[in-house]
Structure formats: C-alpha cells, structure tokens
Structure 1
C-alpha cells in the first residue's frame, strides 16, 4: 500500500501500493519505507516464472485458497509488494527475495504450529504472507493506499498462515522484529508492538481453530451448508445468441467431480460465520434478516471470506464455484437450449425459481421451489450467485477445455442464476452477469462448493 498521506493525491497518480510518477514506480515496503523501482520492471515486462507461481500457490493451498492475482519479477523491489497496475493485481518480487521465500517446502507443511523446518527463512515467508493478505482481504481494490488498520489485517493474516505452515509464534514474528520496523509507526503503518500483537492474534486464532479430538467435527453440526456430490463429466457450455454475445460460443467442457451446497448460503449460516469471526452482518434489508432466507448484500470478498473460514473450521477445502462448475450443476447434465430446460430443472421458470414476476419484490426461503436433477435448489432466481471467475465477455473463445477457472485477472467477478428482481430472460442457466468484487447488493448472494 502507498506510503504517502492523503494529500499526495494532488501530486501523484496513485495505484494501490504503487505510485507511477515521471516514469518511476514508487511503492511501499513491508516496513513502511518508500521503495523506488526503476524502469527495469517495465523493460522486463514484469516477467514471472513457474517456480514463483507454484511456490505461492502451494502456500495458499495450505488454507484452501486459490491465487487471485498475478506474480511478476521486478528487480529492485528489495522483497515483495502487493500492487495494482492499470486494474491488474500483482505480487512483484525480486529474485533474491524469492530464493529466501523458497527455502520452505510447502508441499510438506505440517498444518500445526511449531513443528516445521528450522531451515526455512520465516522472515521472508511472513513478508510474502503479509503482501498476499493485502490482495485476499481486498485492500488493493480500494483507492487511497495503505492505512494502519489495513496493515494490521495483513499482519493478522500472516500470523494465521505461518501457524498453518508450522512456524512458532517467535518465527512468525521474526520479520517484525527487524530494526527497520519503526517502534512508533508512520502515517500508513502502525507501531511495531501493534503489528506484533496482530501477528500473534492471527497465529493464536489458527491454533484455537484446531478442534480437540474428542469434539465432533464442526462440519457435522447444524448451520453449515448441506452438500451434494456432483459427479464429474462433460457438457457443452454456453449458448449461441445474437442478443447476448457473451453467452457464446458453445464450447465443450470437462469437469472433475465436486460437492455443491444444496441451497444458497442462508442468513442463519452467514450469521454463524459473523459471530465466529466478530464480523458485522451486511447492511440491513427492508424485509429483515430471516434465518432461512438467502443472505444478501454480500460482496464477492465477503463470500470468499466465508469460504476461507469454513475451510479453516472444517479442515475441508471450500470455495466459490467456478463459472463452469456452476453452469454444469445448474444444467444437471441437461444439454439445455432455449427449447429444452432453459431454467435449472424445468421448462417453466415458476416451477424452479423466484424471479421478477412472482417474487413480490423480495427473496424467499431457500428450497421452496423444485430442485433440479442433481438435488440443487434455487439455481434459477432468488439471488444472483457469485462465482470465483473474473468476468470476460470473450472468455468462451479461449476457455480451457478441462476444469476452466476463468481469466487470469479482471475488473469484475461473474454472477450467475438471476434473482428475485430479474426478468425471465436473464434467469437462464447460461445467462452471464458480473459485479465489482467489493460491492454487495440486495439481490446478490452465493453458494459454496467443496473439493473432493
């Protein structure tokens, strides 16, 4: 995040953690100091390598997350930084730092604090986890650069990840004890002790979420999504239409099996998450928070945070569905056309969904309409459902044929299924919509999937 107070807006064009001024890239380091990286970054066109990508992917895999940013080499960075350039989110790094980060074998992570390799460079790993935390917490989607509270959130995330990787608390705090870290803080970065406390909070939260062996697993308890196994297979995705060009071309897709929630996440289920994480419920709605209604006013970032929490407390890998998984599940194996099951489980929308003409201008309890052949409810209507993919109107022209996960980056996230406020024409199993990941509306919700 940028190292300048708000007045800097009159002097620089600010891009998240980066400031571009007179051909230079100026960023803010882990310790809060200003870092100038010269035009080498641009001359290399932000080159990356598979080692960097796989190392960070392996780290995120320990907590059931997938990377939602690109990774680029930028000599002179000193360590690494989370940045946004022209709307694209990056972790930029230099190779000296990457070598330190790669001292740890993430594939052998023990998932318990204090029992991992003593040869790992925990300072480098904690810095990377901190910067990744900025992206995953949505900080780099906001204008205005860093603030002390954002740095503390990233520090807490770092502590959480390092416990999962096997670091002791002392190891997790190693980088923060560097003499480069200010005892007193700056405009953008809090004092050292506050940051040490935040790392300890994250580390202890991860430790406390490890359930004692004599307790029943949390995912067998009520209030958590009921999952249905969706057997893998192949289908023709999309629909060729001159009216909605982003729905085509129709293209073959093959998917591995996965589990999907029978219903959209409910108010009651989301409240459990909020209570467990001291998170506020979304902005209230006119019809009130009713337990068995789908949660609404949730952003993509909110939905993703729920998946992270659910993964942590259950030990399973929950996430948002890819767009391909969502459409495959909505079709329930049916090769839908406009003449054959355009809605999830029926030719007639009123049998399977709440939409503009029958909803009385609000959502309804989940599971009241008919399920589709896979046993999934409300895949048509009720609330729009967030998918994990970035939206690209032309993506179907270049989509992977096996387990497509969407474009590498983008500005908006995919929404699917239509809602209580949507006309019939926008509720089909192939209709595509999109929204800014930081924005929740009174007709947006989500459902989760679980990997095998």
Structure 2
C-alpha cells in the first residue's frame, strides 16, 4: 500500500486565475451591453434618417404647393384690378398656410439633422468605448493564459512526502544485502510513480492535461528518503516501509501545449530541470522522468541508473546508503553549458529532448551529446559535442532557400527596458502589385469578433497596387510642407493615446509629437480618416496617378497574401515577429517601430500585423470607418488579419496610421 502524498501547495495561483476570469466576465458583460446599446443607436439612427428622408421629400411637395398657391394668388391680384369686388381671401389663406407648412418642415429638417448629429456623436463614443473594451478583454485573455501556465507549472513542481510499503521475494542467488537494496529501490520506484500519478490527479486542469500526459515531460526529483521499517520473513521475503520526500518538475517549454494556449506564454520560462544532481540516499535515481516510471521487479535488478532526462555515460556514479555493504562513490561532475543562436524563437534539443529556446544555460553530466537547434523555415543546426568543461555553443541557422519568409526581425532586438534603437535604413515605400484572385474573407479559424462573421468569398477581378509600407512621418511631412495642410489634431482637441484601458486626449499630441520619440522612418500617426484622404489626394496630383485608401476587401486580401491563417506565418503570433502589445519586440507597448523592421508577407507588404492600425475606405452604407491590422499597444489577438475595429472618421490616435492603394 502507498499513502497519499502530502503536498506543499498554495491556492494563490487559482485565486489569480479566478480573479482574471471574474474580470473577464465583467468586461465581457460590459462589451455585450455596449454592443446592444450600439445596435439600438444604429437602429435609431436608421429611423431618424428615414424620417429625414421623408421630411426632405415632403419639403419638395410643400415647396411645390407654396409656389402653386403663390401663382393662384397672383392671378387673383391681376383679376382684382378689373373686378375690385373679387374675394381673394381663400387664396391668401392658402398661400399663408403653405408658407407656414413649408417653414415648419424646414425647421423639422434642421431639428432632425441636429438629432442625427447628436446621435452619431453618441455612436462614435460608444464605438471608441467598444474598441477599448475589446483590447481590455484580449489583454485579460493574455493575462489569463499566463496565469494558467504559471499555475500549471507550480502544480507540477509541488513538493510532497509519500510512504510506500513494498514486499519482494529474495532470489536464491542473491545475498540479503542485495535483496534489501533491490527491495528499497523497488519501493522508491513505486513511490516516484505514485507521486507523479498524484501530481497529474491533483492538477486543476487535469481533464485537459491528462490526455496529453506523454507530452508533459513530467519528472520527479527525490529530495530525501529513509526506511521507516523493514523486515525479512521466514519464507525469504523482504518487506520495507519507505518514506520519500520528492519534488515534481515538468518541461516548461511544453506547458502551453498541455493547456492549448499560444507557445509565446511559455517563452519567458527557464529551461526544464535536467541532470541537476545532489546528494541522495541509496542506489536510487535522483531524477525520474514520467517515461521512466514503469514499475517492474525485473527492471529493478539493474544497478545502472539514469539521471535527469539525458542518457549520461555508462560510468556515471552514485552514492550508496550506509545500509549497503558497498563503499560510497562520488557524484557525477556537472558541467555548465550555454547555447546561443542567431535567430529568435528557436528550440534546442539535447539527445532528442527539448530544452526550450536560446539563450539557454543548463548543467549536464560530462559526456558526449547530440545538440540540435531548430526553427521553422531554417536548416537545423546539428553538432555532436563532448562536454568536459564549461563552454558556450554558438549555433548559426541558415534560412532554407525554398522558405517563404516566416517573418523574423531583420536584426537582433534587445528585450531590455532601454529605449529601442532607431534604424535609419528602412525599405522604400514602393508600390507592390497585388494580383487578382478569390479569397475567403473573415474569421476563418474561429477566434474572431462578431463583426468578422460570416465568412464571405470575395472576388478581386483586377490586380492593384499597394504601398509596401505604412506612410511614414517623412512622407507626410513633404505633404504638409507643400500644402500647409493642418491635421484635425492640430486644429481640434489634439490626439488620443491609450492609458489605463481607454483613449485619453492630449491637446499637444499630433503627427509631429505623438507622445513617443519617432524618426522620419516611423509610420505617421495622429491622423484622422479625412487627413489620410487629403494626403491621398495630394499624392495623386503630385504623381499623376490615382491614390486612395484601400477598401476592407482589398486590405484583407493583400494582408492575407494567399494564406488562410490568423497571421502571415501561421495561427500563433510567436515572439518578436511583429510589433504589437506583448509580442516580444523591442517596441511592444512602448511605441510604433520604424516601418519594415520585420519581414514582409508573401506579397512584399510590411507591417500588416501590428505597428499601427490602418484606415480603410468608407463604404456608402457605413456611418463610420474601420481600421485594420492591430497596433503596438493592442493585444496580439487583435493583430489578426481579419480583425476590424469601427471608428468615427474624425477619430485620431497615436496608434492609427494608413497606407494607400494605387488604382490601375
């Protein structure tokens, strides 16, 4: 029999998860309420607009009636000259009433226009509130995923003490000491298996994790063990009661896959426990992996043990307990090894076992190992090395020639708190030809917002040109200097920036000073929809070709670039592949980045994911307009290719810019 383990645990992780889930529920309810309010306002706007159309139609009829009454009265006045006794009172009354009715209808039109304007102002405010709530919700979802991963990690790394009873039959050919040692080793093996079983059984998300148990890389480290009681029977049996203190561990790089969240939430963890050896009792393995925990008496007859999850040289030595008649031996020599590579978001394998991403530091027993570093789109780096002393291995990965550009930063970017380096060399804003074609537009994967559904097949019969980058500060400055144009931010109440979950207006913010340091190569921000249109009109006259904002179909088709995934490179945002909130770039949650800092999509378009939201062309049926592509301070889930936020045309913020299309 084996007693249940007594775990040292804390409920704080679950409290944190529950608090985030509660906040998510509150914000979701708020968003649902605002969605209902917006729907009612939009319905009311439609009703008011219909009434206005009726008033305008009636105005034409009343104007016609007024003119006819005037003509009739004038005719009677002419006849009155010849017949002074003629009664013209009815004609006068008719004309007077038509004038009054016409004036009243004009006043009603004025009042209706004011009501619609006021209503649209409310709609604009509701839309701004909605888009901030959407970002808050997505940010909370990120926090929830982080908290769930942390809770799972802590649940796997619990400590506990377990007592086990085990009885074996001594073999005729073995001594009593050998039988005793084998029995204790079998009891230890049973305890470690039971311990890891209980780790899984006590996981908060056990139902989700258990089916993926073989992927977890779960391990047990024996901290301490001692024999509570033991005895030999007259029938040649040996019974032992063993108390074992243990600590669990797990491959941190695999936690995300266990609970089905984006792998970026596991990127900040260190490497898994592997080969950390200390003093221990008896001829027992210090660290057992879940895959090693198969219990059989035959397996226990071997004195060769495996430490950690790396197969060490056969000469690895262990310390024997005082109960053994064999002399004590030395523990293996652990060697610190550091691995680096020239790419981000890679994965290191040592003897086929994943150890996470570089930069990686790990202590392993001296010996010979197969080192491999992998990254999608690159040829794997492979090397067999003999480790005798501390060393650093620098892996250089080369992009496959046939790779279709999984976006990676153009250069190494620091994750330190220092201000990002501004690079002067950026791609020229060239016109990229987007080919004609058919695609499915909207939420193809199922993670989108309500306004991304239903999915609709769209056909673009003709090719068109699109600017490869967002319009930069330098490009916009030429427009201002040539036209003396004043943006809405410069004429009005400034520009909005995101603070504590909502846009806040700053009168001093404009495209020249958006609240963060920028260079000429940064995307221009703090421009309204009308500002972007004014730039397009100027550029059209300047170059003699027709430029305009892209419509939503053109924008999404170009951004997808033939893919059906959430992002140009797949369904996970990854790390440092784009400039969005919590995306791991040097600019994330700090500012926009220079255009073209990340690899382009298949059509050669830069920054269709993140950096700044981009205005799209207003449809006749829309009261507002949409922005697409996500931004440096918005959640990664909002940088998906199908995400659309609806805003008023006069809104401007330091996270909204634009790019143009050139008509054929």
| TM-score w.r.t. length of structure 2 | 0.32
| TM-score w.r.t. length of structure 1 | 0.46
Higher relative contact order (CA 8 A, sep 6+): 1
- Which structure would you say has the larger Rg? 2
